[in-house]
Amino acid sequence: MRQRILSSAVVVVAGLMSMILGGPIFALLMIWVGLAGFDEFQRLAHRDRPLMIHRLLGFLVIAGLGIAGLAGVSTVMVFGLVGLAVYTPLLAALVDAPSARLFTRAALTTIGSLLLGLPVLAAIDIRGRGGASEQPWLTDLSHLAALAWPSTPRGLAWVGLVVLAIWVGDSAAYLVGRAIGRRLLAPMISPRKTIAGSITGLAGSAAIGLVCGVVFGLGLSLAAGLAIGAAVGALAQLGDLVESWLKRQAGVKDSGTLIPGHGGVLDRVDALLLAFPVAWLLIALIDGTRP
């Protein structure tokens, strides 16, 4: 238990500090999370040893998407990296004596690199989003934390909203599901997630979207705050189920052992996998800019 608490403290402090600092600090952490998560995904997806070429390709795509997010998201670069993730494994399978097994490996490499790479791109681009916050305290915090890079208070506000919506929704779902949950949400995937917990988690995420819109000075309407909070909460739960399904297929309890007492990186960031890309699109729609 002591080791678990210490690990939690380190993860929370590192995540919070990098989120506040933004810039390359946040980008480097997100890229590292993506790379470590992809390595775990490969080991879960392949019962035998993953091919080195597939691992290197996934690392290249994820790091490239992270750099694209930090550089301001070049559409050409993003589409090029997505194409690399999709077509290179297929070409490699065609060249190396085509078989069902090789095509399965190619498909899993594509899925893994995009499943981890797109949230890395989305999170970094959201954090670097320009624009102002209506709250002076958050603007001052952003200016104070910006070292040798531009201050982006609106980006900080948006990332804070997404992370809090995920965390509060997950906590509410766990507490209520444990207390009164009876009917399971997805019994074939997760034996502990309940319908009551899921509904409560969605409500909690929606409420956080509304509250953070005001507290962080994003100037959101009632509908926009509730909508983005609920969307983030729903996709966070789906991401959690996806990772649980992967572990069940692999016959393991945890995705890895990198974080003592907590398992692997995927065990900690599964809720971000789908939530950040969808939040990225919704934020672009709300702010009236392109993702």
pLDDT in tens, 252-287: 887 877 777 667 888 889 999 999 999 999 999 998
Higher pLDDT, 123 or 181: 123
Are residues 26 and 80 located together in one domain of the fold?
Answer: yes
Strongest mean pLDDT among 105-114, 117-126, 281-290: 117-126
- Number of domains the chain is built from: 2
Are residues 114 and 163 located together in one domain of the fold?
Answer: no
Residue 31, class by beta-carbon neighbours within 10 Å (0-12 exposed, 13-18 middle, 19+ buried)?
A: buried
pLDDT digits (tens, 9 = 90+) for 20-79: 999 999 999 999 999 999 988 988 877 656 667 778 888 988 998 999 888 876 665 676
How many Å is the Cα radius of gyration of the chain? 19
Are residues 56 and 122 located together in one domain of the fold?
Answer: yes
Are residues 142 and 109 located together in one domain of the fold?
Answer: no
- Paired with 263 in beta bridges are 259
Are residues 124 and 176 located together in one domain of the fold?
Answer: no
Are residues 37 and 148 located together in one domain of the fold?
Answer: no
**Final residue belonging to a domain, choices 66, 101, 128:** 128
State how far the Cα of 208 lies from the Cα of 158, in Å rounded to an integer.
12
**Final residue belonging to a domain, choices 100, 128, 156:** 128
**With a threshold of 0.85, does the pTM exceed it?**
yes
Question: Which has the closest alpha carbon to 27: 152, 126, 144, 160?
Answer: 126
Are residues 193 and 273 located together in one domain of the fold?
Answer: yes
pLDDT of residue 186: 85
Are residues 158 and 84 located together in one domain of the fold?
Answer: no
Question: Which H or E element spans position 191?
Answer: strand 190-194
State how far the Cα of 96 lies from the Cα of 77, in Å rounded to an integer.
28
Are residues 101 and 191 located together in one domain of the fold?
Answer: no
Q: Residue 3 domain-assigned?
A: no
Which range of residues forms the domain containing residue 89?
Answer: 20-128
**Final residue belonging to a domain, choices 112, 128, 144:** 128
Are residues 142 and 231 located together in one domain of the fold?
Answer: yes
